[in-house]
Structure 1
Amino acid sequence: MISADHLLNFYIDGRWVAPEAGVSRHEIINPATGEVSGIVAYGTDADVHSAVHAAARAFPKYAAWPQAQRTELLRSVCAEYERRLHDMAEAITAEMGAPLETLSKPLQAQTGLWHFQTALEIASNFDFDRLRGTTRILREPVGVCALITPWNWPVNQIACKLAPALAVGCSVVLKPSQNAPYSAALMAEILHDAGVPAGVFNMVQGSGAAFGELLASHPQVDMVSLTGSNAAGASVTKAAADSVKRVSLELGGKSANIILPTADLQQAVTHGVTTMMHNSGQTCVAPSRMLVPHDKLQEVEAIAKRVCESLVVGDPLAADTFMGPIANARQYKRVVEMIEVGVAEGAYLVTGGAAKPAGYERGYFVQPTVFSRVSNQMTIAREEIFGPVLAILPYGTVDEAIDIANDSPYGLSGYVYGATADEAQDIARRLRTGMVHLNGANVDMAAPWGGYKQSGNGREWGAWGFEEFLETKAVLGAVVV
Structure 2
Amino acid sequence: MLDMKIIIEGEIAVPVEPVTLRHFIDGGWCDSVDGAVSERVSPSHGVVVSRAAKGGKAEAEAAIAAARRAFDDGRWSRISGRERAKVLLKVADLIERETERLAILETMESGKPIGQSRGEVGGSADLWRYAASLARTVHGDSHDTLGEDMLAMVLKEPIGVVSIITPWNFPFWILGQKLPFALAAGCTCVVKPSEMTPATTALLAELLVEAGLPAGVCNIVLGYGAPVGAVMSEHPLVDMVSFTGSTAVGKMISATASGTLKKVALELGGKNAQVIFPDADLEDAADAVTFGVHFNVGQCCNSSSRVIVHDDIAEAFTARVVELSRHVAFGNPLNPATQVGAIVTPEHQRKIDSYVQEAAAAGAQVELGGNPLDVEGLGPQFYQPTIVTNLTPDMAIAREEVFGPVLSVLTFRTMEEALALVNDSAYGLSAGVWSRDVHTCLAFARGAGAGTVWTNTWMDGFPEVAFGGMRQSGQGRENGRYGFEEFLEVKSVVMRVGRTRAPWVNAP
Give TM-score scaled by structure 2 length.
Answer: 0.90
Kindly indicate whether the alpha-carbon contact (under 8 Å) linking 2:110 and 2:168 is maintained by their aligned counterparts in 1. Answer: yes
Equivalent in the alignment of 1:272? 289
Q: CA deviation at 1:373?
A: 2.0
Contact 2:93 2:125 survives alignment (8 Å): no
Could you tell which deviates more after superposition, 57-66 or 243-252? 57-66
Alpha-carbon deviation of 1:267? 2.0
Contact in 1 for aligned 2:331/2:338 (Cα 8 Å): yes
Segment drifting more, 171-180 vs 441-450: 441-450
State the partner residue of 1:104: 117
Query: Alpha carbons of 1:333 and 1:34: their partners in 2 closer, same or farther (altered >3 Å)?
Result: farther
Given candidates 385, 393, 397, the residue that maps to 1:368 is 385
Task: Write the distance in 2 (CA, Å) between the matches of 1:209 and 1:114.
Answer: 33
Q: Is 2:185–2:484's contact at 8 Å kept on the other side of the alignment? A: yes
| Equivalent residues of 1:56, 1:171 under 8 A apart | yes
Q: Partner of 2:506 in structure 1?
A: none
Is 1:34–1:363's contact at 8 Å kept on the other side of the alignment? no
The match for 1:53 among 65, 75, 89 is 65
- 1:408-447 paired onto structure 2 within 5 Å: 408-441=425-458, 442-447=460-465
Preserved contact between residue 278 and residue 312 of structure 2 (Cα < 8 Å): no
Matched residue, 2:25 = 12
Judging changes above 3 Å, is the alpha-carbon distance between structure 1 residues 163 and 195 closer, same or farther for their aligned structure 2 residues?
A: same
Aligned partner of 1:332 among 339, 345, 349? 349
**Superimposed CA distance per residue, residues 2-50 of structure 1 (whole angstroms, 9 cap, x where no aligned partner):** 9x89844210000101212x22222211111233223222111011010
CA–CA distance in structure 1, aligned partners of residues 489 and 440 of structure 2: 39
Query: Which of 334, 348, 351 is the equivalent residue of 2:368?
Result: 351
Residue number among 302, 305, 323 corresponding to 1:285 in the alignment: 302
**1:137 equivalenced with 2:154 (yes/no):** yes
Q: How far apart, in 2, do the equivalents of 1:206 and 1:303 lie? A: 44
- Runs of 4+ in structure 1 off by over 3 angstroms are 4-8, 357-361, 478-481
Amino acid at match of 2:23: F
Residue in structure 2 matched with residue 158 of structure 1 by the alignment: 175
Structure 1: distance between partners of 2:438 and 2:193: 38
Instruction: Please show how residues 15-26 of structure 1 align to structure 2 within 5 Å.
Output: 15-20=28-33, 22-26=34-38
Match of 1:299 in 2: 316
Q: What is the CA–CA distance in structure 2 between the aligned matches of 1:357 and 1:478, rounded to whole Å?
A: 75
75, 81, 86: which is aligned to 1:72?
Answer: 86
Structure whose CA Rg is larger = 2
Q: Report the aligned-residue RMSD.
A: 1.9
For structure 1, list consecutive stretches of 5 or more residues without a partner in the other structure.
none
Q: SS of 2:316's equivalent?
A: helix
- SS of match in other structure, 2:324: helix
Q: How does 1:304-315 map to 2 (within 5 A)?
A: 304-315=321-332
CA deviations on 1:130-153 (whole Å, 9 max, x unpaired) are 312321111000000000000111
2:484 is the alignment partner of 1:466? yes
Residue aligning to 1:85: 99
Q: Show CA shifts across 1:64-89 (max 9, x none).
A: 11121111111221122222122221
The alignment status of 1:241 with 2:252, answered yes or no, reads no
Partner deviation per Cα, 1:110-138 (whole Å, 9 max, x = no partner):
232121011112223222x4312321111
Change (3 A) 1:389 1:478: farther
- Whether the aligned pair in 1 keeps the contact of 2:95 and 2:121 (CA below 8 Å) is no
Q: Give me the identity figure in percent.
A: 36
Aligned match of 2:340: 323
Instruction: Give the structure-1-normalised TM-score.
Output: 0.95
- The whole-number CA distance in structure 1 between the counterparts of 2:455 and 2:402 is 23
Q: How far apart are residue 213 of structure 1 and its match?
A: 2.2
The 8 Å contact of residues 136 and 478 in structure 1, kept in 2 or not, is answered as: no
Q: Name which of structure 1's ranges 162-171 and 469-478 shifts more when overlaid on structure 2.
A: 469-478
Q: Which 5+ residue runs of structure 2 have no aligned equivalent?
A: 1-13, 145-150, 501-508
Q: 2:159 corresponds to which letter in structure 1?
A: V
Query: Secondary structure of the residue that 2:274 maps to in structure 1?
Result: strand
Change (3 A) 1:5 1:356: closer
Cα 1:479/1:457, change in 2 over 3 Å: farther
1:43 alignment partner, one of 44, 52, 55: 55
- What residue is the counterpart of 2:468 in the other structure? 450
Three-state SS of the structure 1 residue aligned to 2:373 is coil
| Alpha-carbon displacement from aligned partner over 1:420-465 (angstroms, at most 9, x marks no partner) | 4443122111001100111015212211110000000000011112
Q: Is the 8 A contact 2:372 2:380 kept in 1?
A: no
| Cα drift, residue 357 of structure 1 | 6.2
- Give the conservation status (yes or no) of the 8 Å contact 1:8–1:23: no
**Is the CA contact 1:135–1:479 (under 8 Å) kept in the aligned structure 2?**
no
Contact 2:368 2:388 in 1 (8 A): yes
Q: Is the 8 A contact 1:34 1:364 kept in 2?
A: no
Are the aligned partners of 2:322 and 2:387 in contact in 1 as well (CA < 8 Å)?
A: yes
Task: Identify the range of structure 1 (355-364 vs 188-197) with the bigger mean alpha-carbon deviation.
Answer: 355-364
Give me the whole-angstrom Cα distance separating, in 2, the residues matched to 1:206 and 1:176: 8
